[in-house]
A and B are shown apart, each in its own frame.
Chain A
Amino acid sequence: MKRFFLPGPESILSIGVLAVFGLAILFPSALTHSDPATGVAKDHLLAPDWTHWFGTDQLGRDVLTRIVYGARETLPAALLATLTGVVFGAFIGGLAALSTPIVDAALSGIIDVLLSIPELLLALTVVILTGFGPVHAAVAVGISQTASFARIIRNLVRSLRAMPYIEAARLSGTGFGGLIWWHFLPNAFRLVLGLAVLRYSMAILSLATLGFLGYGAPPSNAGMGTDDCGRPRLSGDRLVDDYLSRSGPADRRVCNQPPQPRHDTPEGTSAMNTQRPVLDVSHLGISYDGKPAVENISFQTLPGQTLALIGESGSGKSTIAKAIIQMLPPSARLMHGTITLNGISLPDTTPRGLNAIRGRQIGFIPQDPSSSLDPRLPVGRQIEEVLRLHTSQSRSERREHVLHLLEHVGFSEPERRFSQFPHELSGGMKQRVLIAIAVALAPPLIIADEPTSALDVTIQSQILDLLDRLREESGSSVLMITHDLAVARDRAHDMIVLRHGQIAEQNTTRNLFENPRSSYTRKLLADSPAFHSRSATPDRPVSGTQPTIQVKDLTIAYGSRTAVSHISFDVQPGTTHGIIGESGSGKTTLLRCLMGLIPPQSGSVHVHGKDIFSETSEERRQRLRNMQLVYQNPWSSLDPRLTIRRIIEEPLRNYFSEGQTWRQARLHDLLERVHLPLTLLERYPSEISGGQCQRVALARALAAQPDILVLDEFVSALDVTVQARILELLSELQKELNLTFVFVSHDLAVVRQIADTLSIIRYGKQEEYGEAEQIFREPASSYTQILLQSIPGQKHSKAQRSVF
Chain B
Amino acid sequence: MSSLRHTGIQLIRALLILWGAFTVTFFLLQMMPGDAVMVRFMDPELGLSPEQIEAMRVLYSGSSSPVFQYLHTILRMLHGDFGYSVQLGVPVRTLIVAALPVTLRLAVVGFILSLVWTLLIAVGASLLPARPLRQAFQAIPGFWSAIPLYWSGIFIIQVLSFKLRLLPVVGVGPWEGVILPALAVSLPIAAPQAKLLLQQIEETGRLPFVMAIRTKGASQRSVFFRHILPNSVTPCLTMAGLSFGELIAGAIVTETIFGLNGLGRLTRDAVSGQDVAVLQAVVMIGATGFVAANLMVDLLIPLINPSLRSSAGWKEKSGP
Contacts and interface: CB of A to CB of B under 8 A. Distances in A.
A118 B250 contact: yes
B307 interface: yes
Interface string B125-158: 0000000000000000010011111111010000
Contact of B208 (A109, A202, A367): A367
Interface string A92-115: 000000000000000001101111
B213 interface: yes
Interface string B259-289: 0000000011001101000010011001100
B33 interface: yes
A277 B243 CA distance: 60
Interface string A109-151: 1101111111111001110110100000000000000001001
Contacts of A359: 215-218
B230 A376 contact: yes
Nearest to B234: A376
B274 A128 contact: yes
Given A121-B286, A371-B208, A112 B20 contact: yes
Contacts of A351: 219
A390 interface: yes
A113 B271 contact: no
Given A198-B320, A358-B216, A376-B305, A120 B148 contact: no
A152 interface: yes
Nearest to A245: B199
Given A151-B316, A225-B150, A374-B231, A118 B290 contact: yes
Contacts of B217: 354-360, 386, 389-390
A373 B207 CA distance: 10
A230 interface: yes
A232 B304 CA distance: 37
Residues of A in contact with B, size category: 35 or more
Contacts of B290: 115-118
Given A113-B20, A213-B256, A229-B151, A366 B274 contact: no
A125 B209 contact: no
Contact of B21 (A117, A128, A131): A117
A538 B174 CA distance: 92
A117 to B, nearest CB: 5
A125 B276 CA distance: 10
Contacts of A114: 24
Given A112-B17, A119-B246, A125-B28, A205 B212 contact: no
Contacts of A129: 28, 31-33
Interface string B80-101: 0000000000000000000000
Nearest to A358: B217
Interface string A458-495: 00000000000000000000000000000000000000
B180 interface: no
A374 B209 contact: yes
Contacts of A327: 211, 214-215
B24 A117 contact: yes
Contacts of A355: 217-219
B215 A385 contact: no
Interface in B139-192: 142, 145-152, 154
B206 to A, nearest CB: 11
A233 B191 CA distance: 13
Task: Determine chain A's interface SS by DSSP, over half rule.
Answer: helix
A759 B287 CA distance: 58
A374 B245 contact: no
Contacts of A208: 148, 150
A535 interface: no
Contact of A117 (B218, B287, B314, B317): B287
A375 B306 contact: yes
B14 to A, nearest CB: 9
A375 B231 contact: yes
A148 B291 contact: no
B300 interface: no
B252 interface: yes
B123 interface: no
B216 A437 contact: yes
B320 A237 contact: no
A562 to B, nearest CB: 21
A121 B267 contact: yes
A421 interface: yes
A373 B216 contact: no
A213 B252 contact: yes
Contacts of A112: 13, 17, 20, 314
Interface in A205-228: 205, 208-209, 212-215, 225, 228
A404 to B, nearest CB: 18
Most chain A CB within a 10 A radius of its CB, from B213, B256, B268: B213
B176 to A, nearest CB: 25
B77 interface: no
Interface string A379-417: 000000110011000000000000000000000000000
A237 B191 CA distance: 12
Contact of A128 (B32, B154, B318): B32
B216 A385 contact: yes
A148 B13 CA distance: 18
B296 to A, nearest CB: 14
B166 to A, nearest CB: 22
A232 B249 contact: no
B119 interface: no
B132 to A, nearest CB: 16
Contacts of B13: 112
A257 B274 CA distance: 70
A364 B212 CA distance: 8
Nearest to A372: B212
B197 to A, nearest CB: 14
Contacts of B208: 366-368, 371-372
Most chain B CB within a 10 A radius of its CB, from A113, A238, A371, A373: A113
Contacts of A232: 146
Given A116-B287, A117-B283, A128-B274, A148 B317 contact: yes
A374 B227 contact: yes
B320 A366 contact: no
Most chain A CB within a 10 A radius of its CB, from B149, B215, B248: B215
Given A128-B271, A225-B150, A351-B219, 4 more contacts: A117-B290, A119-B250, A233-B146, A375-B307
The 10 closest A-B pairs by CB, nearest first: A230-B151, A113-B20, A233-B146, A359-B217, A364-B215, A118-B249, A358-B217, A359-B216, A372-B212, A116-B287
29 contacts: A110-B20, A112-B314, A113-B20, A115-B290, A116-B18, A117-B24, A117-B283, A119-B246, A121-B267, A125-B283, A128-B33, A129-B33, A151-B316, A152-B318, A212-B148, A212-B150, A213-B268, A230-B150, A354-B217, A355-B218, A366-B208, A371-B207, A374-B227, A374-B231, A375-B209, A375-B307, A376-B307, A423-B307, A434-B212
